[in-house]
């Protein structure tokens, strides 16, 4: 399994990174990592689009979901069936929003291995932009990445209960979900900072550029491709 992972992800990413490094006239590994990140994000764009549209769609049908929970209070089976029908009518897959994360994780691990083993054992210049050692941690870069992680989380479309349902029975789950969303917007940047203080700055540079790309995607997709929900 490890060999397959190496063959399918780690080695192609390393070869692509080295290609960009050699292609750049001034041979800057930091710029090569930025180009690699952009290529990876472009490949993942269809999945990003699907995930963001799913999150936006879930946000749009939230009032209908509230009505269903109120109507079928105490009837779990009827509630589940009505929700599935609503998802089907509006072509919404509640699990699509998790798809991008599931795909990104192995790629992130592969990039980490590329920077920890592949690049470290190569003859490439590991100093990016003339001052940043990509194999070592950098607290400033970790902090900047955490800040952008916060803004990226803040701009994500999240479903929340309508005010009319907030104080009614059946909205407890949604209130809890809204609370968890707020907590995640704080916890994710905090975790990013903690991990950034232990991970090589090359990986954090990849992470930061990916976040910037994600924020651009969110503006393009959420604002210009809002789904039409049949309510």
pLDDT in tens, 155-167: 775 544 444 444 4
Please indicate whether residue 198 or residue 72 has the higher confidence score (pLDDT).
Answer: 198
Q: How far apart are the first and last CA of the chain?
A: 46
Confidence of residue 185 (pLDDT cuts 50, 70, 90): confident
Decide: pTM greater than 0.75.
yes
pLDDT of residue 204: 95
By the 8 A CB rule, do 116 and 74 touch? no
pLDDT for res 222: 64
What is the pLDDT confidence band of residue 143, given thresholds at 50, 70 and 90?
very high
Of residues 158 and 21, the one with the higher pLDDT is 21
pLDDT at 63 over 50: yes
Confidence check: pLDDT of 76 > 70: yes
Q: For the chain, what is the mean pLDDT?
A: 81
Three-state SS for 133?
Answer: strand
What confidence category does residue 70 fall into, taking pLDDT thresholds of 50, 70 and 90? confident
Give CA–CA dist 101/60, Å, rounded. 22
pLDDT value of residue 191: 92
3 state SS of 138: coil
The DSSP bridge partners found for residue 128 are: 132
* Calculated CA dihedral for residues 144, 147, 192, 53, nearest 10 degrees: -120
Helix, strand, or coil (residue 24): coil
Residue 169: pLDDT above 50?
A: no
Beta bridge partners of residue 127, listed in sequence order: 133
pLDDT above 70: percentage of residues in the chain: 82
Can you tell me the distance from the alpha carbon of 112 to that of 114, in angstroms, rounded to the nearest whole number?
A: 5
Q: Within 10 A of 74 (CB to CB), how many other CB atoms are there?
A: 8
């Amino acid at each position: 399994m490890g060999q397959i992972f190496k063959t399918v992800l780690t080695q192609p990413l390393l070869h692509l990174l080295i290609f960009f490094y050699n292609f750049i006239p001034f041979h800057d590994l930091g710029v090569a990592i930025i180009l690699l990140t952009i290529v990876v994000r472009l490949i993942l764009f269809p999945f990003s689009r699907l995930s963001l549209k799913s999150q936006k769609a879930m946000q749009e049908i939230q009032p209908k979901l509230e009505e269903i929970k109120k109507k079928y209070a105490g009837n779990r089976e009827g509630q589940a069936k009505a929700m599935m029908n609503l998802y089907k009518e509006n072509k919404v897959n509640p699990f699509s929003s998790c798809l991008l994360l599931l795909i990104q994780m192995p790629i992130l691990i592969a990039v980490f291995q590329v920077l920890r083993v592949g690049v470290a054992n190569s003859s490439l210049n590991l100093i990016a932009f003339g001052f940043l050692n990509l194999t070592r941690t950098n607290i400033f870069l970790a902090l900047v990445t955490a800040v952008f992680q916060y803004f990226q989380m803040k701009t994500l479309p999240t479903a929340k209960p309508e005010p009319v349902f907030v104080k009614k029975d059946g909205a407890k789950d949604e209130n809890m979900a809204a609370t968890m969303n707020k907590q995640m917007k704080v916890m994710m940047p905090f975790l990013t900072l903690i991990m950034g203080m232990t991970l090589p700055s090359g990986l954090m540079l990849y992470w930061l550029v990916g976040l910037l790309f994600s924020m651009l995607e969110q503006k393009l997709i959420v604002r210009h491709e809002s789904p039409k929900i049949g309510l």
